[in-house]
Amino acid sequence: MLLRFLTVSIVLLWVASMGWLLSVIYAPPESRMVEIDPREVYEVFFNWNETTNMTLLESGTRRGQVSISGGSGIDPDTAEFTKSLSVSGMLESFLQGDGERSVDLFWRGVIDFTEEMELHQGDFSVRVPGRQLTAHLKMSGEPMQISARALSNQVEMFSYEGALEGGVMPLQLLPMASILGVNQLTAGDLALSTEARMGTFSFGGRDLRAYLLTFQRPEAEGALRVYLSEAGEPLRIESDFGMEAISEILVPLDAYQKPKQDS
C-alpha cells in the first residue's frame, strides 16, 4: 500500500511539474503576471520625475528615437495639482546609395491630467521635413475645446476651432482623411481600455520585476504594451504593428547596424 501511495504521489508531482513548466514556456508573458489596478502604475510613473531615452525599432532595426518623461506637481498657472506625460521623438530612414540617415518625422506631445487622472489639457506637434508639412493640435478646458491646424509650404491645409464634448470634430477637410476612413473625431474615439499587471520579465537577458500596461481601443485590432520598472521608468514599448521602443540601456547593439544596400 505504501509503495502504491508513493508511486501515485510521484506521478502526480511529475504531471504538476510538467504542467507548470509548459505554462511558463508557452503562456504569453502577461498571463504570468498578477493583475493590478492601473492607477497603481500611474502613481509610480508620475512620481518618477525623470526622462528616459528610447531607441525606436522596426522589425529589430533602428528607425529613430523617443524620449518619455513623467512628473507631477502644482501647475504654476492654475495652482492645481497636475500629472504630466511628455513624449517626443523622430522617425528616420536610410538614404539610398550612401546609407546616411534622413529624418522623416518629428513629433512632440504633452498631456496633463488632474490628480484623479482625468484629462486636463494636451498639446501635440508634428513636422514632416520632406513635405514641409507641420501640424498642431491643442486641447483644453471643460467642455474640452479643440484647436487644430495643418500647414504645407506655409499654406494652410486644415483648421478647426471648437468643442469636442457634446459634438464632433470634423476631419473631412484633412488631407488623406478619406483614405484613413476617418471623417470625424468624437470623445469616444479618444477612449482606451487599460489593463495593468505586475511580474517578472526578461529584458536584455536580465530578469526584472516590472509593470505591464496594455492599452487598446474598444473593438479595434492591435494593442500597445508598456513595460515599466518598479521605479516607474519605461523599459519597453511594444505594438502589434512591427514597431517598438526600447530603453537605450537595453537595446541590442545589432539594431544599430546599417541595412544592406541593394546591389
Domain annotation covers residue 6? no
Domain annotation covers residue 12? no
How confident is the model at residue 203, as a pLDDT?
77
| N-term to C-term CA, the chain | 76
Tell me how many domains the chain contains.
1
Sole residue written with cell 500500500:
1
Q: Residue 84 has what DSSP assignment?
A: E
Q: Report the distance separating Cα 34 and Cα 40, nearest Å.
A: 13
CA dihedral 28, 225, 102, 176 (to 10 degrees): 110
Q: Report the distance separating Cα 4 and Cα 193, nearest Å.
A: 52
Digit-coded pLDDT (tens) for 163-182: 765 545 554 444 444 433 44
Sole residue written with cell 502644482:
74
Domain annotation covers residue 62? yes
How confident is the model at residue 15, as a pLDDT?
43
Please give the mean pLDDT across all residues of the chain.
75
Digit-coded pLDDT (tens) for 96-118: 555 677 888 899 999 998 888 88
How confident is the model at residue 256, as a pLDDT?
52
Domain annotation covers residue 162? yes
How confident is the model at residue 75, as a pLDDT?
80
Percent of the chain with pLDDT over 70: 69
How confident is the model at residue 254, as a pLDDT?
52
Domain annotation covers residue 16? no
Percent of the chain with pLDDT over 90: 26
Domain annotation covers residue 7? no
Q: What angle do CA 23, 28, 33 make, to 5 degrees?
A: 85
Confidence of residue 162 (pLDDT cuts 50, 70, 90): confident
Confidence of residue 141 (pLDDT cuts 50, 70, 90): confident
How confident is the model at residue 235, as a pLDDT?
93
How confident is the model at residue 74, as a pLDDT?
85
Supply the range of the domain harboring residue 41.
Answer: 30-256
How confident is the model at residue 188, as a pLDDT?
52
Confidence of residue 253 (pLDDT cuts 50, 70, 90): low
Confidence of residue 66 (pLDDT cuts 50, 70, 90): very high
Out of 3-17, 95-109, 118-132, 134-148, pick the least confident. Answer: 3-17
Sole residue written with cell 504594451:
225
Domain annotation covers residue 139? yes
Domain annotation covers residue 168? yes
How confident is the model at residue 98, as a pLDDT?
58
Q: Is residue 159 left, alpha or beta, with left meaning phi > 0 and alpha meaning psi from -120 to 50?
A: beta
Digit-coded pLDDT (tens) for 186-213: 545 556 788 999 998 887 777 888 999 9
